[in-house]
Amino acid sequence: MGAEKSPSTAEPGRAPEEAAVPADHPGVSELFAVLAYGEISAFYRLAEDARFSPSLRGRVALASMAAAEMSHFETLHTALTERGAEIYAAMEPYRKALDAYHASTTPSTWLEVLVKAYVGDGIAADFYCEIADMLAPEVSTVVREVLAETGHSEFVVQEVREVVERSPLQKDRLMLWGRRLLGEAITQAQYVLAQNEELAELVILASGDLTNIAALFDRMQVEHAERMSVLGLH
């Protein structure tokens, strides 16, 4: 996760009682668990997608991004253990939806790999960052840490821009690909929320109410469009 979104600075003036979701809400462990499985599945997806790389440099870039996911996984592992949760059992319910996201968005070219690594992780980061704002500080610190920039997105931006600037055909294809990534991500996010009551309650609490959840998904579309634009896809 987190090829894109910078963690916003903490709000030192905010008292813990202002958090919409208290640190002991049972949905917090569920949130950490879905994030943790997200890191593992992103690791293996990046490692597998590297087979499309035309160069050793590309393989190294993807391996570095994958390694950063594992460092985030360790943070979540520690956080879950501190909450008394067993990480492997906790992740189990989320395997199906996350594996389904990757299965439905398997890249078939190196450019699709790069756009997915950048845009797909960005969509997830947008969603979690929106929620993080309303969590108790000790929880939001963990969420922001695992969504931090991995520092390799510059490589993706350069590679993609260079191609789409000279090929309208590639540009059209990648714009459709980006739209598909967003659609599949939202489908699977809704599936995850429908599946776990505690997590759904956490998201509703964090958003305020159901109307706000709709507004949250709208903002994600805007942020997605901005990110596509950075890649020259607009």
Q: What residue ranges bind its own copies (CB under 8 A)?
A: 40, 43-44, 47-48, 50, 55-57, 59-60, 63-64, 66-67, 69-71, 73-74, 88, 91-92, 95
Cβ closer to its own copies: 67 or 204? Answer: 67
Q: What is the DSSP letter of 55?
A: S
CB of residue 98 vs its own copies: minimum separation in angstroms? 12
Task: Indicate if the alpha-carbon torsion angle 100, 104, 106, 112 is positive or negative.
Answer: negative
CB of residue 3 vs its own copies: minimum separation in angstroms? 16
Contacts of 64 (CB under 8 A, 6+ apart): 150, 152
Cβ closer to its own copies: 8 or 55? Answer: 55
Q: What are residue 135's DSSP bridge partners?
A: 21
Cβ closer to its own copies: 32 or 177? Answer: 32
CB of residue 142 vs its own copies: minimum separation in angstroms? 18
Q: What are phi and psi of 21, to 5 degrees?
A: -115, 115
Q: What are residue 21's DSSP bridge partners?
A: 135
CB of residue 48 vs its own copies: minimum separation in angstroms? 7
Q: Is 203 exposed, middle or buried (0-12, 13-18, 19+ CB in 10 A)?
A: buried
CB of residue 88 vs its own copies: minimum separation in angstroms? 5
Q: Roughly how many angstroms between the first and final C-alpha of the chain, as a whole number?
A: 23
Compute the C-alpha angle 205/211/212, nearest 5°.
Answer: 55
Where is 20: in which H helix or E strand? none
C-beta separation of 42 from 1 below 8 A: yes
Cβ closer to its own copies: 16 or 44? Answer: 44
Cβ closer to its own copies: 98 or 139? Answer: 98
Cβ closer to its own copies: 77 or 83? Answer: 77
